[in-house]
A and B are shown apart, each in its own frame.
Chain A
Amino acid sequence: MRETNEQTAMRKHESAEPSNGTVLLAARGICKFFGTRTHRIQALHDVDMDVREGECVAVIGGSGCGKTTLTRIMFGLDTADAGTVRYRGGLLAGPRSAAMRQLRVESGIVFQNPFTSLDPRWSAGRSIAEGLVVRAARSGRRRHSAGDGEAIDAAVRGALAMVGLDPDDFIGRYPLDMSGGQAQRVAIARAMVAQPRIMLADEPMSAVDVSGRVQILDALTEIRRRQPHMAMVIVSHDLGVVQQLADRIVVLHDGRIEETGATGDLLANPQSAYTKQLIAAAAW
């Protein structure tokens, strides 16, 4: 038993060192508490995690183990109570820090439920274009300059096509008139449209029915194929999905990193008892 733990620790140590790509996003010593002063629960205990350029990392673990909390902190959507997150070497320190701004521009986020993450009063085209429109306006050029409009239109169409939706059909459609799988692919297109360096998808399939899941998985696979340089963090319960998409797996258990390793290795040869349980449960 002790041996196993040591092995796990070794493996964790190894993978924390830069191997192939350079580290994009690095979390160190992350702690997070929830609750009141009298009744506190610690959702994350001193967690370290790296995401390298071009790799797809899957975060797996049981319900309530802290996957959402960890990934939200890493992408600047929440703040940690202790520890640091660095994006391309810069410290994420508050919404106005340079690293945070850069992360906002260079990251795309897909939320769990597409029907709450897309504004119901916005057509798909408008939602997808939102980030680009804001950026074009900010970069000092005129909002209505024809070149911008054309570039944005092309980008929106490209993003819709990439997730397997017909741009003509979907640009003017409202979320109300889409299936779950279609809406989530629109949300993925929104995350992809600015060609991010890094993308987060927190259980992108769990709010969608089975046929929708297949469509989303296909869309994500296509994105992996077409954008090999983009890093991706995917949180999922579904080991099949993880196996298809991820290069590396991080197993989280009760707010601690249980084990981490290359997808094939880890699934074929899990070290910790908890990971074995997870895999056995999935095999059912």
Chain B
Amino acid sequence: MTAVSDDGKRFKRSGRDRHATGNVPLRMRFGVIMRSMWQQSGGRFALIVMACWIAVSLLSLFWTPYPLLQTDGGHAWASPSAAHPLGTDGVGADVLSWLMAGSRTNLVIALLTMLVSAMIGLACTAVMVSGRRALASAGVVVVDALIAIPTVLLALLFAVPFGASIAVIVAACGMTYGLNMARIVKPSASLAARSAYVQAARAMGVSAWRVFFTHIVPSTFPVLAVQLSMSAGTSILAEAGLTYLGVGVPSGVPSWGHTLTTSVRLISVYPLTVLWPGLTVTLVVTALYLLGDAIRDCADPLANVELRKLAATVSRQTHNTGVDA
């Protein structure tokens, strides 16, 4: 009896907690966002490709049609067949197995690049919109200067001491995309930083950091969503390019760029082998770009009416259950 009423009370409280800050439970918000994305053709395509990518990456941890190192010299450059659906490469290894395993590497690279570029981008943005004028203008100058360094050059520089590795790709991409992001995000961020709602928050004693993360960063959401997904997509293209140059993933580590590199040498003789990694990369990069657009349109309460409606309904319902209990 006591336990039950205790539970009821706790539920009521947590409901009111959410209610007071106008927050909708994360799970409900996520559901509405997913549904809205599914209703767009671009969003649906992106979601399907992302789901496949993640599923294949996980699957490749346990199973690939052939072990990666199993080669069959007699069947090098084999055409697609029942045994090897996507054919074999120059040493007779199964292309499908390598692509499956490679999707894992590329997923890691895309996620890490997104993370690093977000951190660098937001850090630079924070400096550029800071209240200290001198710091802000110094930040703008530094970002504008560093933005001129191309990704490839940076990767080549990093590769000198560290050798070819995933870290080199992530560092080079994260840095250049982060700086780019900062520059693109800055106008909306500084608009928000000067806005009356930020002044109001500061006047209530909200700290500058809190204002940055709760008001200024969300105000850049439309740009940020697109930029972040573009970072992820472009990092996959960069991985292919850098691996081809020998400063990307080390040989022996499966990646789409690796498969592309090994097969591109004989493209004029066996064009079909290039087709599969090329198609995979194109598909995934397109999906990532579309994903950014879909997130921008669906995850922002300003753009998505459904999210606003959800907040209104939930707050009404939460209160009613509170009254009934």
Interface residues of A (CB under 8 A from B): 75-77, 101, 104-105, 107, 109, 111-113, 116-127, 129-131, 133-135, 144, 146, 149-150, 152-153, 156, 167-169, 171-174, 176-177, 187, 190, 194
Contact = CB atoms under 8 A, between A and B. Distances in A.
A116 B197 contact: yes
Given A117-B195, A131-B206, 5 more contacts: A123-B22, A123-B315, A134-B206, A169-B312, A171-B19
- How many chain B residues sit at the interface, stated as a range, is 35 or more
A97 to B, nearest CB: 13
Contacts of B133: none
A135 B206 CA distance: 8
Given A121-B221, A171-B19, A104 B200 contact: no
B13 A152 contact: no
Contact of A176 (B197, B206, B302): B302
B75 interface: no
Contacts of B312: 169, 172-173, 177
B200 A121 contact: no
**For the complex, would chain A's binding face be called helix, strand, loop or mixed by DSSP majority?**
helix
Interface in B18-45: 19-24
Contact of A172 (B17, B206, B302, B313): B313
B300 interface: yes
Q: A127, A144, A168: which has the most chain B beta carbons within 10 Å?
A: A168
Interface in B186-222: 195-197, 199-201, 203-207, 210, 215, 218-219, 221
A146 B302 contact: no
B22 A172 contact: yes
B200 A146 contact: no
B100 to A, nearest CB: 40
B196 A116 contact: yes
Contact of A117 (B21, B196, B205): B196
Given A120-B302, A173-B311, A133 B21 contact: yes
Nearest to A118: B197
